A and B are shown apart, each in its own frame.
Chain A
Amino acid sequence: MNRYLPLSILALAILAFATLMLVIAPGMQINSRPAPEGLTPYSEAEQRGRETYVSLGCLYCHSQQPRSGDQAPDGERGWGRASVAADYTYDQPHQLGTMRTGPDLLNVGARLPSEGWHLTHLYQPRAIFDWSIMPAYPYLFDEKPQAGPGDVVVALPAEYAPQDGVVVATQQALDLTAYLQSLDRTYEVPADGLRDHGYGTPDGPEPTPSEEER
C-alpha cells in the first residue's frame, strides 16, 4: 500500500459502513417504535433528580436494563421484566449502564416506593444495609437544630444520627428521590418489544422473524 488517498477513503468507508450497521439501522428501527402507553414523561422534579443521578455518576455502579429470565434471574430478584427499547423513550442521556456493583434500578420505584427509605439510604446506606459499599451523600442533606415547617426529616438509627438536631433533606435529595420513585417500568409492553432475544423468548410469542431477527 503506497497511496494515501485510497487508504483513507477505504478506511473511512469501512467506518461509515460500521456506523450504518451499529447506529443508523438500529436507530431507525428503535425510533419506529412508539412509546408504551404506560410510560409517562418525567415531571420537572423527576427530571431535576435525574440530572443529579447523572452528575453524581450513579450509572457507574447501577445498570437500568433488567435481563430476560432465560439469561439471568433479574426478574426473580425483583428488578422487573426484561426491558425493551421503547421503555427508554424519554431518557436523555441514556443511563443503561454496564456495571452491577449495586442492583439494577430500572424498577426501583416499584420495588422500593417509600420516600423515607430512599432518603435514609442516600444519607447513609449503611444505616440500612451493613454490607453496602455505596457512597453516602451527606451533602444532599442539611443538619438543623430542629426541623422547620415543610422540612422533610430523615429517619436515622442512633448510630448515624447527629448528636443533637435533625437531618433534613435538601430539594436536591427530594428531587433525586422523586426520580428514583419514578423508575417503574412494570406496565405491559407488546410481546415483540425490541430487545436482544438471543437467549430465547421468555416474555411472549416468537417475534416476527422478518422484522426483528437476523
Chain B
Amino acid sequence: MPLTLGLLLSLSFVVSLAALAFLIWAISNRQITVDQGDAETIFRDGEQGHIDNQGTEHGDAKMRYHFDPVRAGIDAVSARPVIVLLGTATVWLVLGSIFGVMASLKLHWPDWLNQSAPLTFGRMRTLHLNLVIYGWLSLSGLATVMWITPRIFHVPLKSPRLVLVGAVLWNIAVALGGLAIASGWTDGEEWLEIPWQIDMLLAVAGACFIAPLVRTTRARDVHHIYVSGWYFLAAILWFPVLFVVANIPGLHSGVEEATVNWWFAHNVLGLWLTPLGVGTAYYLIPKIIGRPIYSYAVSLLGFWGLALFYSQVGIHHLIGGPVPTWVVTLSVVHSVMMFLPVIAVAINQHVTVAQNLWALKESVPLRFISFGALMYTMASFQGSIEALRSVNSITHFTHYTVAHAHLGAYAFVSLVMFGSAYYILPRATGRAFPWPGLLKLHFWLVVIGFGIYFFSLTIGGVLQGLSMLDATRPFSESVELMKPYLEARSVGGTLMTFGHLVFALNLLGLAFYASTRAQNTVAAE
C-alpha cells in the first residue's frame, strides 16, 4: 500500500488535535496545574533547610537528619527488595565493566585472547553492553524507583515479595542472556541481542516489578504526584511496550527491522534510562540539600517535552541510510527539539545545586548525582548537535558515537545511580559506610577515568570521521590514526572499572564490616 505524504500529514494533524483537546480538558479539570508548593511535598516538617547526609560522612556531629518514623516505616518495607536489586546490579556492573575493558583492549591488541569464539571482540562488546544495560542500569534504576516511589506517595511498597521474585527472575534472565551471547546465540541486532526466548523471562520479571509499583501508586496517600513520579510511572509503562514490540520474533525484517531497532534502542535511553535518572535526580537533589527545586512549573514542560520529542529521535542513527528521507528528517527535527525539555530540567536541577554549592562538600551522594545531572545536559546538547546532517556525516560510524553513548548512559545515568545507592543503602540497612574516604576515591576514579575515556574517543572519533570523508586518504589511515586514542580509552576504562571495584568494596563493607553506629534513623525498627 503506497503511503502518501497527505495521509501522514492528516494523521499527524488528527493526533495534534486530539492532544490539544486533551490538554484543554486537563487544564479545565486542574489535572496539570502545579505550583511551587507542590515541590515541597517531598519534605516532612522540619526537614527543609537541613542537609540529609547521614551514613556517608565521618563523624556524628553532622547527623542533623530529622527523624521521621513515618518514612522509616515506609523505608522498612522497601529495604529488602531494594538491597537485593542494588546488590545484584553491582555484580553486573563489575562483570560488565571487565568485559568492556577486555573489548577495549582487543581493539589495539587484536591478537590478544583470540583462541576461542566467546573471547572475540564482537561477543565481548555485546556482553559488556547487555550486562550494563539490562543488569546494572535497569536493576539499579528499578531499585531507586522502588525506594523513592513509596516515599513520595507516603505509603509502603505494595507486594514487596513480588519484587523479590522479579529480582530473582530478572537476574536469571540476564545471566542466561549473557551465556547465550557468549556462546553465539543472539538475535543479532544492537541492544536486542538477548534471544527472544530469554526475553520472555525478562518480560515476566518486568511484570513482577510493574504490578507492585502500580498498586503502590493506586494506594497513594497524597494529593499531588511529585515530578519524579511522573517520570517513573511513565517509564515503567514505556519500557515494557518497547521491549515486547521490538522483540516479537519473525515480525520484522530488512530495513523495517532497522527502524524498529533504533526506535527501540534510542528509546531505551530516552524513555527508560533517562526518566529513571532524571526522576531520581529530581527527588534526591532537593531532598539531600533540603530545599525544593528551583521552578516546579518548568518541570512539567521538561517531562512532556521529553515524552513528545525523545520518543521520535531514534532514526537519527540511520542518517544517510536506506530509509525514507522524511523519517530521517523527522528524527533530526525532534533531536533538535530536545533542547527544550533538557533546558527545562537543567534550570530546575542545576540552579538548585548552584544556589547550594556548600552542600556538595557535605554530601558525596549529592556530588555523584549533580555531576550526573550536569552530564545529562551535556549529553543531550551533544546529541542534538550530533543529529544535524552536516555533523552526523563526520561523526556517524566513528568512535565519537561511542563516547557520546557513554556520556549519556555512564556519566549521566550511572553516576546518578552511584549517588542514589550511596544515599539509599545507609537508610535501608541502618548502617553507615565504614570507609567514607573510599566513596570519594570512587568518585574521582570514575570522573577522571571517564574524562580520559570521553575526550580520547571524541577527538579520535572526529579525526577518524574526517579521514573517512577524504577520498584521497586510504581507509587504513582512519584505522591507524585511531590506535593511540583507543589505547587512551583503555586507560580511562580501566580507571572507571577500578572505581566500580571500590564501589563494590564499599557495599561489601556496609554489609559485613559496618557497625550500626551513629544512626538516628534505622529502617529496620
Contact = CB atoms under 8 A, between A and B. Distances in A.
* A and B are interacting partners: yes
A213 B237 contact: no
Residue with the highest number of chain B CB atoms closer than 10 Å, among A92, A103, A193: A92
A2 B397 contact: no
Contacts of A129: 476
Given A32-B1, A96-B321, A57 B125 contact: yes
Q: How large is the interface on A (under 10, 10 to 19, 20 to 34, 35 or more residues)?
A: 35 or more
Contact of B261 (A7, A94, A137): A94
A198 B479 contact: no
B325 A197 contact: yes
A211 B256 contact: no
Contacts of B234: 7-8, 11
Contacts of A8: 233-234, 237
Nearest to A75: B471
A26 B258 CA distance: 11
B397 A77 contact: no
Contacts of B3: 25, 28-29, 32
Given A132-B479, A194-B324, A89 B254 contact: yes
A147 interface: no
Contacts of A213: 5, 325-326
Interface string B3-21: 1111011011001001100
Contacts of A20: 11
B256 A31 contact: yes
A1 B483 contact: no
Interface stretch (B138-146, B306-314, B443-451, B497-505): B306-314
B327 to A, nearest CB: 5
A100 B398 contact: yes
Contacts of A191: none
A212 B185 contact: no
A73 B471 contact: yes
A56 B256 contact: no
Contacts of A88: 254-255, 258, 322
Nearest to B398: A100
Given A14-B311, A23-B260, A26-B259, A94 B253 contact: yes
Interface of chain B, main secondary structure: helix
Given A54-B186, A88-B255, A21 B322 contact: no
A63 interface: yes
Contacts of A68: 320
B114 A22 contact: no
A199 B320 contact: yes
* Size bracket, chain B contacts: 35 or more
A55 interface: yes
Nearest to A91: B254
B264 to A, nearest CB: 9
Interface in A173-214: 193-199, 209-214
Interface string B233-264: 11001100110010000001111111111010
B321 to A, nearest CB: 5
Contacts of B482: 101
Given A26-B324, A131-B480, A136 B255 contact: no
B31 interface: yes
A72 interface: yes
B323 A99 contact: no
Given A199-B389, A210-B5, A72 B317 contact: no
A21 B330 contact: yes
B34 A67 contact: no
B256 A27 contact: yes
Given A65-B322, A98-B317, A213-B5, A136 B327 contact: no
Contact of A21 (B225, B261, B327): B327
A194 B116 contact: no
B110 A126 contact: yes
A193 B255 CA distance: 13
Contacts of B312: 18, 21-22
A12 interface: yes
B397 A100 contact: yes
B271 interface: yes
14 contacts: A7-B230, A18-B312, A22-B312, A26-B259, A27-B259, A29-B324, A30-B254, A58-B122, A83-B322, A85-B324, A88-B255, A101-B107, A129-B476, A199-B320
Q: Which 8 A-B pairs have the closest CB atoms?
A: A57-B122, A214-B326, A73-B471, A18-B311, A55-B184, A93-B188, A100-B397, A54-B188
